Copies of this chain bind each other. A is one copy, B any other.
Amino acid sequence: MTGITIGAFAKAVGVRTDTIRYYERDGLLPPPARTAAGYRLYDDSDLERVRFIRKAQGLGFTLSEIAALLALRASDTARAADVLDVTERKIAESIARISELSRISAALKQLAEQCPVEAPVTDCPILAHLANTSTAPSKV
């Protein structure tokens, strides 16, 4: 019976034990081996798997996208193009979000510049802008 229990494992990958159990519930980690007493036992492949997950999160993938990537990796019929699809969707998503945020920060900066700091709020161009009937709201 080799492997380490959940506390040491979680520490090794830098997450909480709850997170490990959560990944298991969520299907991201396979049901681990158990000791006679029922303690979960993790090995190097689990270690690698959690590191994969954290790294993918760092690249903006959601857990369900990561599950898809892990499934592709495990498949013997999948092609690199399948992974590329997932990646390109994420790229497109990031770019769309960047342009949305650029629009927002540009608009806010413009309003912020006009703001007469010492004036009472009634003179605030930011509030005036928000109160203005023009300019469309957006589906956020």
B contact residues around A72 at 8 Å (CB): 121, 127
Separation in Å of the A36 CB from the closest CB of chain B? 32
**A51 and B115 in contact (CB under 8 A), knowing A120-B79, A127-B83?**
no
Task: Give the complex CA separation of A95 and B111 in angstroms.
Answer: 16
CB of A37 closer than 8 Å to a CB of B: no
CB closest chain-B residue, reference A15: B137
Q: How large is the interface on A (under 10, 10 to 19, 20 to 34, 35 or more residues)?
A: 35 or more
B contact residues around A115 at 8 Å (CB): 80-81, 83-84, 87
Interface contact A117-B58, CB-CB below 8 Å: no
11 more contacts with CB within 8 A, not counting A52-B130, A81-B118, A84-B126, are A51-B133, A52-B131, A55-B137, A58-B138, A60-B108, A72-B121, A80-B121, A82-B121, A87-B108, A87-B115, A101-B101
